Amino acid sequence: MGQRSTLGGLLVAGLLVGVCVRFFRQGPSEASFVGGVSRSASHRQLKVPRSAVDPALKERIESVKKTGKLTDAMRLVAAAKVRKAQDGVDRSRPFSDELQGMIKGIVKKLKGSGLEAELPMLKVPEKVSNIAILLIQSDRGLCGAYNSFVAKRAGQRIRDLNAQGITPKIFAVGKKAINGLKRKAEGTNYEIVKTIKMPDNIRSSDAAEIADALRAVFLSGEVDKVEIIYAKFFNLLKNDPMVRTILPLSPTDLDDADDETFVMTTEEGKLSAKKVKVPSPKAKEIESDVIFDQAPETILNSMLPLYLTSQILALLFEAQASELSSRMNAMKAATDNAEELGKELLTLYNKKRQAAITQEITEVSVGAMALEDMESKIPPLGMTEEQGSINDEFMQEVEEGSISDVPEAPDGPTERPRLENAFA
């Protein structure tokens, strides 16, 4: 008996220790007064969003806004570079005009002397069997259809030459020129001779490098004619790919009166460019008694390379202006599209947010109505019964003796089993 009582005491003590440990681990705030355990509100996981915001759509709106700011900044940079190209044309024109006037004066004085047969750069071949093409494009994209149009015109010209049995030699300026020919001149025959990077800041040395390469293949007899394909600048909204012959030089080309340049202006707060007709330089008057220190052929041979360089320099500036104007238009269109897309996404975002808020309000209202219905289903006390009248009737029945003071015995055994018999 002593061992059994000791074992029972240990079991009871162990149970008490376990209950105490559980109570202290849970904390007093997590134990209910009825002995049950309820989780703390801080540990509840909410499965319903706290705000009616679509994070993915919100990030898309922010991304579109940033893209619009970037394209607008690129448009402004292109506009500044167009002005820089105009300044380059203005700086190069005085030297070109003076040189062209001097060449015209010498050609006028020696007119009819068979000068074309003596100067290689002015000699027109009887038959053209080989042609070199200077293709001017850009190093970068994001300029609309500028590179595509120039490459398409080059592909058309190469097909025309292939039909005549001529495989042209290509001098490509700009990284996009090679990629454009692969797409637009697919299936044609051409030879890439040299690739030149399109400079951001065009200088006379860049034009001289191109002019020397073209003059070398022309004077060596490898080609009989040199053409240039570039985008002629008309205004900020228009530029067309053109094909122009630059070698051999013709004295009649020096008298071309259709010379023009572009001028950047601002009208009503908007940037614009206008083509301005420039009068052709007049021939320098050379007196009849002027004695040349060197032969006229030698003088012209030293001047014509400079004239070719000046012409290529002007065409580089014009091609760059066409590229930058195309980039301005492309970035302006991208900025406008980003603004319109941002408005549409914001409208969709507001609609979805309003729909989510309306749904949450509807759910709360339905829940409240459900609770009211549940309370209305509890049976009432009666039309005329009240809590006080029920208590009075109950006490009256007790006093009259209709209700016994002693509760009725429950059903079951009347005696409990003895403990000694249970453990026997």
**Active site amino acids:** 143
Tokens standing for 245? 């012959």
In sign, the C-alpha dihedral spanning 262, 263, 267, 270 is: positive
d(CA 211, CA 267): 38
d(CA 424, CA 418): 10
Q: Report whether 184 contacts 154 (CB < 8 A).
A: yes
d(CA 380, CA 418): 49
Residue 37 CB contacts under 8 Å (≥ 6 apart), including other chains:
26, 30, 31
Place of tokens 């904390």: 27
Tokens standing for 360? 């949450």
Q: Which ranges constitute the DSSP H helices of 255-407?
A: 296-376, 387-400
Q: In what order do the strands lie in the sheet with 169-173?
A: 191-196, 169-173, 131-136, 225-235, 238-247
In degrees rounded to 5, what are phi and psi of residue 276?
-120, 130
DSSP codes joined into one string, 167-185: -PEEEEESHHHHHHHHHHT
d(CA 243, CA 255): 19
**C-alpha dist (Å) from residue 210 to 71, 204, 225:** 33, 10, 15
d(CA 139, CA 421): 107
Tokens standing for 402? 């209709």
d(CA 363, CA 369): 10
Tokens standing for 19? 């209950």
Nearest to 192 by CA among 179, 208, 205, 207: 179
